[in-house]
Structure 1
């Protein structure tokens, strides 16, 4: 872990503990997606900002999850929203979309929805800042992959990306999570798989354009690919923060890691 960031987390933790609790507002809304021709449920967690525009963190769920996972599984996130004073938006990403636009599939255009349509809706209906320095995106597992995938392909929209226990390279798992249904088999469609996996997209990151945070539990089945992502970003001289802690691929770990993630994005927004 970066030493300066670790000190920041420690200071932020004491700051949070010393403040009186507020009441974050939680709304479940439906956002129309023109690309998919349907409404997508989304949870919006708003701080008590007293009229001042706030930054926005888009927070994605994992495979087989939905828009309500984060606020239901980690209710403490409402306290973090108030303390850090930025909005958290949790869209539904489908059962196993991997947050791609799938050619020819009207029901799976989630890159367009999250990266464009949802941002436009939030910024036209809520009092939030409207520049890339005030937008970040992160997520868990499939959502960690989705955050990096969408963020790298939309660097004009987001200034910071995160991933917790992200499926940043799913090629070691060629028969899992319905990826075959979207890309075909790895053996027959290697080029398609390579073009859709975060591990092979790092060369697209513009120098010093994004703040990046990656974490993963050491007992997680995705730990090895996250460690390799860290090593590859280091080799390519891509600045980033990488954190590994004891933990498995479960909510016990994610409820801890979200505290590190949100502290990191608070630091980014303040800077």
Structure 2
């Protein structure tokens, strides 16, 4: 009987601990937002940390997906992102960037106006519906691959909106890849529109930066096909005396790398918010 009571007590104690942990876990909202510029409803994921209901406005990290993925990619493939929202007490917003938007306002396709959507419409919607710090000091943006390009592209062009930006395995120079990932559908063929491709690639936007105007973190794996363009971006930032963090480590263009990388990205954003 005593052993039975002890086991029952232990089970009840374990159950209470698990319930307490569940109560403190981040929650995931899937929301419908509306883009006026594209005249359509677009889904997004919003991860709220356990402390969200405390009433204090929180900083927001916009976390962008890659080519061929969608708004649910991060939360379904990297469960630890929810834990990191709790750990750093931040809101994480995962927008849908379309299968191949590259987060541009396409000059040839009115159905792909994702620069306006993410940097203006979505930010405004999130600020209206959640308790956020409504200032660039409380906003950061990062992403993987197409989303890494998108995060830097949007942040550099909208420094009044975002105070920090990151990129994981980002396609930070599109020019070596004229036939890949539907970019020609968004910009027109490189052979016919070379000036447009020059203007829409991250590495050619560095003249818009001044030292410390953005907190920047760029990382890429040695085995990644985007490694050389990321290394070149790092060197160009150095040449212009633009402070930034650059990390290169073993890894390829895959979820094993991004699952590890996003932890450092979110830590970097947390440190920026804490300054």
Q: How far, CA to CA, are the matches of 2:207 and 2:23 in structure 1?
A: 43
Measure the CA separation in 2 of the matches of 1:263 and 1:213. Answer: 11
Alignment of 1:123-202 (within 5 A): 123-202=127-206
Greater helix percent: which structure?
Answer: 2
1:251 pairs with 240, 250, 255, which one?
255
Match of 2:68 in 1: 64
Q: Give 1:231's aligned residue.
A: 235
Q: 2:25 aligns with which of 14, 23, 26?
A: 23
The 1-side partners of 2:137 and 2:199 are apart by 27
1:167-223 deviation digits (Å, cap 9, x = unpaired): 001211111011111222222211000000001111111332110000001100001
Alpha-carbon distance, 1:21 to partner: 9.0
Q: Calculate the TM-score normalised by the size of structure 2.
A: 0.90
| SS of alignment partner, residue 62 of structure 2 | strand
Cα deviations across residues 200-258 of structure 1 (Å, max 9, x unaligned)?
11111133211000000110000110000001000110100001111010000000000
Shift of 1:20: 10
Partners in 1 of 2:194 and 2:102 — Cα distance? 17
1:219 partnered with 2:243: no
Superposition pairs for residues 76-155 of structure 1, below 5 Å?
A: 76-103=80-107, 105-155=109-159
Residue 89 of structure 1: SS of its match in structure 2? strand
Which sits farther off after the overlay, 119-128 or 205-214?
A: 205-214
Shift of the alpha carbon at 1:35?
A: 0.6
Deviations 1:138-178 (A, max 9, x none): 00000000001111110100000100000001211111011
The residue correspondences of 1:38-57 to structure 2 (distance < 5 A) are 38-49=40-51, 50-57=54-61
Structure-1 separation of matches of 2:139 and 2:27 = 19
Consecutive unaligned residues of structure 2, counting only runs of 5 or more, are 1-20
Mind listing any 5+ residue stretches in structure 1 that lack a counterpart? Answer: 1-18
> Rg larger in 1 or in 2?
2
Aligned length: 253
TM-score by length of 1: 0.91
Shift of 1:73: 0.4
Partner of 1:263: 267
Match for 2:35 among 18, 30, 33?
A: 33
Cα separation, partners in 2 of 1:250 and 1:21, compared to 1, 3 Å: farther
Q: What's the offset of the Cα at 1:103? A: 2.6
- Gap change, CA 1:20 and 1:108, over 3 Å in 2: closer
Q: Contact conserved, 2:23 with 2:50, CA < 8 A, in 1?
A: no
- Partner of 2:50, secondary structure, is coil
Moved more, 226-235 or 184-193: 184-193
Give 3-state SS (helix, strand or coil) of 1:201's partner. Answer: helix
CA contact (8 A) 1:141 1:164 kept: yes
CA distance in 2 between counterparts of 1:252 and 1:58 reads 21
Distance in 2, Cα, partners of 1:255 & 1:123: 28
Please, what is the CA RMSD of the aligned residues?
1.4
